[in-house]
Structures are given as structure tokens and as C-alpha cells.
Structure 1
Amino acid sequence: MLHDPLIILLIGMVLVIGGIIAFRLNPFLALLLAALVVAWMTPETSIVEYGLSRGMSQSAAESLAARPIGDRIAAAFGTTTGQIGILIAMAAIIGKCMLVSGAAERIVRSILRVTGEQKAPVAFISGSFFLGIPVFFDTVFYLMIPLAKAMAMKLKGNYLLLVLCVTAGAAMANSLVPPTPGPLFLIAEMDIPIGMMMVGGFLVGLVTIAVGYFFSVWANRRWEIPLRDSPEAPLSEIKALAEKDVSSLPGVLSSLGPIIIPLGLISLKAGLETFFTPESILLTGGLTKWAIEAVLFFGEKNLALILGALAAILTVVQQKSSEKDQVIKSVQVALTSAGVIILITAAGGAFGAMLQQTGISGRIAELTTGYQMALIPLAFFVTALVRTAQGSATVAMITASGILSGMATTSLEYHQLYLGLSIACGSKLVPWMNDSGFWIVCKMSNLTEKEALKTFSPLLTIMGFAGLAVIMLAAKLFPLI
């Protein structure tokens, strides 16, 4: 009974939430403790089955099960760190340098000149949605959070609204519109044309972010969360920059450089990999081939963020040429802050990985076998269960598509696109402390865990349900078959 993945999941949830909220444990310690208990409770047979389901050989799966608990946790911790460590460190440098140099302030003033104060949140949510199509959610969030802080200072409020707008746009695009990994896996597994998925995901995404915007406005009125002082973004510095004359701020292009360089390179790389095969690239010659290879090289997300960080540091050097200590201090403060975020996020990744090794995805698949429910909501709720249980939206999409891919090729009354979109929307439910993205949003925006659970988690959940409603309506009215 105690080896049932659902029981192990429940115990893990109690340890994390109870440890952080009730006993005031540092999130890093609470997540690590929960990962330890979950790993200890997981039988070797479950780990072997998990390994086999991930494509491991029998011997490799047995070897994984035989590894010490601490070794398995450390490996998962290291994997998560490898995925997000450099990104968070470089994004922290970019954010800090953009605030110190005045680049964030210059961008905010330019946005307000175009949109006006009333429409600034709309610019943030639509901008993050479009940026989230070619770029990972976390990258978009890293790069836009300093702008949100500077904008909140300028507007003298609405900080929570701006943070939720950035989150809403980037999160929905990341699950709905290729070429991000989740949607790309869906179209391959469920035989959905990529163009159809892009258009369908874009349209559903527009509806969901509209709903997300209205929730964000309501939440901002309900819970007035201030822009807090923090080492990487002192309010005194932001206020001083807000009062500066525009002539003393960097130019618009140099201000945008730390954002445009990584986003542009990552987007170009994603576009090339989506529409060109490696073989077709090899057939090109001369300058074209060189340019493509350069984009593929520099467009790797870690390298692209490093280039963005260098551009941000250069902007500080130009603006603070007589204050070299300021440049050194900016980088040191950013890296100190990033280190804490990396530790907590990696611990969350380790906890999620230990939950996955319990076989929770397969257990949920068993519970839904033969369940007599319409396929679209079934796809949605299966994905939501897996996402809530183990924390990763991409893993949830892969698991659900594996369960339902066979049904996608049967004689449905609508195109299988709708099943794929339903899975994508289900992957938004319910982000909490086993999700590394939860900690990225929580720590980089300076929200407390309670505040994130009251605002960020319901935001994605509501948008997911809004997506389900519009998908079911569209499948009825426009079956596309």
C-alpha cells in the first residue's frame, strides 16, 4: 500500500507544502527532504519500469534502480542544474545590468510612449506570448522581469499585474505553439500537421491569454503585492533611474540589445531547425551555409544568453565608464542572487524526478484506462493529473500523448488537432512546488510561496480550463474533417 505512487505523491506534497508554509523551512531543504523520502519509499521494481518506459535497456534500468538514493537525487539535481544553471546566471546578470545601466528604464519609457500607461500590461502579455513561441518560458520570464520591475516603479503600482501578464503570455505559447518541445512531440506522436498546430495553438492561445489578463487584473486588485526591495534590484536604484532625464539613459537599440540578441538568435535557430533538415543545410554553399552554421552555433540557448549578458555588461560599462567598481558589483550581486535561485530550482527538479521514478505517470494511465468520458476532456484531465503529480508540463504532454495517440488515428468526429490542443492546455494544471518553473517565477519576481500559490498557480489553471472550453466548442463547430 505504501508503495502506491499515489500514496508516495501525497506524502511528498505534505512534506513540501507543510515544510515550507507550516514549519518555515527553506524551500531548498524542504524539496530535498521530500525528494529523499519519495526516493526511499519507491521500490526498485518501479524504478526499473520507469527506466524501461524512458527507453533504457533492461541492464541500464536495473543499474538505475541499484544506485544509492543520494546518487539518484544528486543526478537529477545535476540534470536540472545543467538545464537551467547557466540560463539563470546569465539572465540574472542581464537583469541587474539592465537596471543599473538604465536600459530597462529606457525600454519602459519607450513602451509607455507607444501604449500609454493604461495599456502597458496588454503590451507585456502580448509581447511575452509572441516571444514565447520560439523561446522557452523561463528565458522570456528572465528577460522581461527587469522590465516589469522598472514599469511597476514608473506606474507606482500594478507589479503583480505585470508579473502575471508576463507569465500568462509566455506559459501558454510554450505549450501550444511549435517549435517548443512539447508541441513538437505532440504533432509527431498524434500525426498533426505542424502548420495546423501552429495556427490552432496561436488562436487558442489568444483566447487563453485574454482570460489570463482579466484574471490578472482581478488578482492585482484583490492582492496588492508591492515591488519589494532586493539585492539584485534595489528600489532606490530603480527610483533614481525613473527620475533621470532621458538624455542620460542609453539609446533604445543598446537598451534592447541584451534582450534582442538572445531572443533573436534562439528564434532564428528554432526557425531553421523547423523548416530545414540538416541534409538540406549541407547542400547549401558559400556565404549562406556559413550564415546558417553561425546561427545554429550562436543560437544555442546557453550561448545566446551569454552573448546577451555580455551586451548588458557592455551597456553598463558605457554608462558607468568612470565607475568600474559599479560594473564588478553588479555582476557579483547578480550571481549571488542567481546561486540561490539555481539551488532551489534544481531541488525542485530533483523532487519532480523522484516522483517520476515512482511510476506515477503509469499509475494515472491505469486509472484512466476504459474511463467512459469524451476524449477531449479525457485528454485534458489525464495531462493535468500527470502535470500536477510530477511537475513537468513537457513530461505531462509526452505521457498523455502516449496514452491517447492510438485514439487519435481512429475515426473521430473531429480532427486529432483538438486532442493535441487539449493535451497542451491540460499541461498548465496545476503548477506548485514540484515544478521548477514555480520557483523561477517565485524567486525572480520576489513573490512569497503563499503569494505564488494564490496568484500564479490559479492563473495557469484558469487559462487551461478556458482553453479546454474553446477547444470543445471549436471541435463541435469546426471539426476540420
Structure 2
Amino acid sequence: MAAVSIWWIVAIAVAVVLLSILWLRLHAFLALAMAGFLVAVLTPDAALVDYADLQMEKSKEAWTQKEAASFVSSTGAQRLAQSFGDYAGKIGILIALASVVGSCLMHSGAAAVIIRRMLAIVGEARASYALAGSSFLLGIPVFFDTVFYLMVPLAKSLRRQVGKDYVLYILAILAGGSLAHSLVPPTPGPLAVAAELHIEIFDMMVGGLAICCCSSVLSLSAAAVINRFVDVPLRDDETPADETSAGGPPSIDEVEGPPFGLALLPIALPVLLIAGGTAWNMWLGSFDSGAAPAWTDSLGRIVKLASDKNVALGIAAAMAMGLLRWAPVASDRNQLIGKALASGGVIILITSAGGAFGTMLRYAGIAEAVAEMTGSLPGLMLLPLAFLVTASIRTLQGSATVAMITAAGVLQGFANPEILPYHPVYLATAIGAGSKPIMWMADSGFWVICKMSGMTESEGLRTLAPMSIAMGISALIFTVLGAWLLPMNH
């Protein structure tokens, strides 16, 4: 299929996503599902035959003639539904369990314990670093809106004590939590991109953590500059009335919470378990075939089970639920978990629909079109291109997660080892970096921050928009540096 035809399909599909969200005000799930169905219908049979032929030529997990014929004869709706189910199988359990972990951390007071400890370590003079570090840790299992909801009272309290730097405190929360939301699994965006680009969850965690830590430091410098030029006064009367409602998580000052080690365990344990599985496999790989000790067989099965991403996060969820014994107000555990799963269910629908949309583009031949377009493009230049594509979609429709999912579907052809001279995780972090700019009125997060911090729309544009650009560019800079200095290509 000609590349021109492919790009017409891509342009129409992306336009459907943007118009459905911006003009028709449809839910992101419906917009992505419609775009995926449209791509499936517009894909000619010749492209399906080409894709099936490629699958039969694979050295591993090659399709049979019967499977290829069944694929070519299937309807667009059948292919979309099958892809939706496959994608939900990859990320559904992870997102659901991450929602449970996040909710339990908030309501048990564990999140408050982490924030207080970070403040105690760095001191009030470096409170912005504590805020950024705390929001970074909490932003891994907890959605950013919830992290900001918890931490904005602390920013206001610090402003009252210090008498200045309110903008710095607000932007510090944004620097840590928002970057983690777009770069580190198991939040939906990086999880979806990793699945789309066939990146191991451990590789995405390590790469995202490294880029996020470096970028957060640089972003804090940008926040300090913005703070010098913009002063936002406290406007307590503009805080939403339901902030302190009984149904929400407790404030930082009103809860004792569990010990710090236990509070941190549900966040650190999945990373340690998955890392342990990777280290175990590397150790076994150092032996010649059949030369590994006999005892590694039985122990290896246990390690393989415990390091499975779903099992690791399931253990973390169980530990997080155990922390609810420290909740300051007795609550119905089933109701609390039910709300968390309901919230996660919406994200699963969106990410699965986005994944199906990307798969339909793959069937249409996007990988080959991208390879042809970028054949003469220097390898490192692919990263700024991925950044710009994602940033354009993000700026137009507002949602960072939708932008990442859509961009990953369009750019999935870049993840070909024959094209990339570096590990695909750098492509994923470039997409994550591109999901930061530009925060403005089209973004629900813009309104959450403005309303809860007391900023006016004008103040929000003067602070949040440049800060989002600084976060994105800093993450891109460290991504390019990493791909250049430590390519890790196989």
C-alpha cells in the first residue's frame, strides 16, 4: 500500500480524535474507538494481505496459513474488538491494581507520611525539593489530580510560614507528579506506550525513572525563574468547598499514618520484584545451556511468578490494603476499593481503545510507511520528531494520556531495531516528554491546578504553560543525551 494513502488514513483518524473531543465533546474512549473503527474500515485488503504475509514470514510465533486467511477475511469491527481485548489483557490488571494502591495510600495516610518525611529530610528552606520529590513518588501509583489535591494545602501552609514563593511550591508539585505521570509505569500513559512499542515494563520503569529524576531537577530551576517574575497571592476563599469533604482523603496534618517504611513499601516493592526477576534471568544467562545448578529450576519458577508484573503489583495492592488499618476515619473497605476500581476502569477503556486504534494503524501499514519516510533521517532526530508529534496532539486536545496513546500508534514504526540505533525506551520517553507541553485551557489539569491553588486563568497561563514547556524540553534533552551516550541497542 502506498505511503501517501497511509498518511491520508492517519490524517483522517487523528482529525476524528481531535474533533470528537474538542468539538463534539465526546469521551476519549468513544473518540479513540471511532478512530480505530474508521482506520479498520478504510484499510484496503491489499494492506491486510501484506501484513498477514509478514506474520507468516516471522522466525518466531509465525502465523499459519489458516490464521492468515482468517485475519484477511475478518471484518473491521472484528479486528478492532480483538485488538481491544488483547490490549486490555496487557494493561487492564495493572491499571486496576495501581488504582487500588493509589487509593489506599491516600486514605491510609501513607501518602501524608511520605510527604512529611521528605520535608523533614530537606528542611523548610528547600521545601520545593521535598514537594517535587514527594509528588514524584506519589505520582507513580496515584493519578496526578489526586496528588495535587493532597499536596496543595501543604503548599499554602508553606506560603503562610515563609511569606513568599507560592508559585514555586505549586510548580514543584507539578514538576514531580506530572513528569512521573507521563514517564513511569504503572500510570496509564507510559504503560500504554510501552505496550504499543513492545518495551518490557522493567525497561520502561528504569528509563522513565532516570529521565524523570534528571528532568525534575532542571524543571525546578525553571520553576524558580518563573517564581521570580510571577507572584500569586493566597486566595483561600477560592478553594473548592468539597476539598475537605469527609469522602476525600485526609489532609497531611490531621493523620498519623503508618511507619515510613511501610508507607513506601507498596511503591518500592513492585519495582524491586520486577528488577529481581530481570537480575535472575541475567544471572541464568551467564551459564552455558544446561549448566545452571539444578536447584535453579524450582526457585526459578517462584522468581518468575513473583516478578510477573501483574503479580508484583497484586502483592503491592494487598500490602496497600493492609495500610488501611491506619486510616484516621473508619471506612467501608469494599466501597473504597470499588471506587478505585471504577476510576481505573475508565482508564482501562481509554487505553485499550487507544491501543486498538494503534493496532489498526499497524494493520494499515503505518510501520512500513514510517520506515520509508525516516530511512535517511539520522537516528537521534527521530526523538525530537516524536516529541513534536505528541506535543501537537497534546496541545490541541488537552489530555496527556490520549496524546501519548495516539502518538504511539502513529509512531510505532519507529520502534523497529533496523531503524533505531538505540533502545526503544528512548522513543517512549520522547513521547512522554512531548505529552507535557502545552498546559492551557484545553487541559483539565490546568483547571484543577488553577481552581485548587486559587490562580486566575491569566496567572495559570503565565506559570503553568511555560512550566509545561520547560518540563517537556528538559525531558527531551535528557532523552537525547541518554540515547547518544548510553544507546543500549542490542
Once the two structures are superposed, what CA deviation does each residue of 1:257-276 show, in whole Å capped at 9, x if it has no partner? 32233232122222222343
Q: How does 1:148-227 map to 2 (within 5 A)?
A: 149-156=149-156, 161-168=172-179, 208-214=215-221
Structure 2 distance, partners of 1:200, 1:88, is: 19
Structure 2 distance, partners of 1:117, 1:41, is: 59
Q: How does 1:418-437 map to 2 (within 5 A)?
A: 426-428=430-432, 430-431=434-435
Matched, 1:41 2:56: no
Once the two structures are superposed, what CA deviation does each residue of 1:95-126 show, in whole Å capped at 9, x if it has no partner? 11121111111111111111235656646767
CA shift for structure 1 position 256: 2.1
Change (3 A) 1:465 1:100: closer
Q: How does 1:67-82 map to 2 (within 5 A)?
A: 67-82=74-89
Q: Output the TM-score relative to the length of structure 1.
A: 0.68
Once the two structures are superposed, what CA deviation does each residue of 1:343-365 show, in whole Å capped at 9, x if it has no partner? 12211111122122221121122
Cα RMSD over matched residues? 5.1
Aligned counterpart for 2:417 among listed residues 378, 402, 416: 402
CA shift for structure 1 position 332: 1.4
Partner of 1:241: 251
Asked if structure 1 preserves the Cα contact closer than 8 Å seen for 2:100 and 2:317, the reply is: yes
Partner of 2:163: none
Partner of 2:28: 27
Once the two structures are superposed, what CA deviation does each residue of 1:375-403 show, in whole Å capped at 9, x if it has no partner? 34444467668988974759957745434
Partner of 1:341: 347
Q: How does 1:52-201 map to 2 (within 5 A)?
A: 52-54=53-55, 55=58, 56-57=62-63, 59=65, 60-116=67-123, 119=126, 122=129, 141-143=140-142, 145=144, 149-156=149-156, 161-168=172-179
Q: Output the TM-score relative to the length of structure 2.
A: 0.67
Partner of 1:191: none
Partner of 1:359: 365
Structure 1 distance, partners of 2:287, 2:102, is: 38
Partner of 2:397: none
Asked if structure 2 preserves the Cα contact closer than 8 Å seen for 1:379 and 1:404, the reply is: no
Instruction: Give ranges in structure 2 of 5+ residues lacking alignment.
Output: 157-165, 394-402, 437-442, 451-459
Partner of 1:310: 318
Change (3 A) 1:102 1:200: closer
Structure 2 distance, partners of 1:428, 1:48, is: 33
Aligned length: 423
Amino acid at match of 1:333: K
Once the two structures are superposed, what CA deviation does each residue of 1:244-266 show, in whole Å capped at 9, x if it has no partner? 253xx222222223223323212
Partner of 2:477: 466
Partner of 1:411: none
Percent identity for Structure 1 against Structure 2: 24
Task: Name the stretch that deviates more: 299-308 or 51-60.
Answer: 51-60
Instruction: Give ranges in structure 1 of 5+ residues lacking alignment.
Output: 132-138, 187-193, 409-416, 433-440, 476-481
Change (3 A) 1:184 1:250: same
Q: How does 1:314-333 map to 2 (within 5 A)?
A: 314-317=322-325, 319=327, 323=330, 325-333=331-339
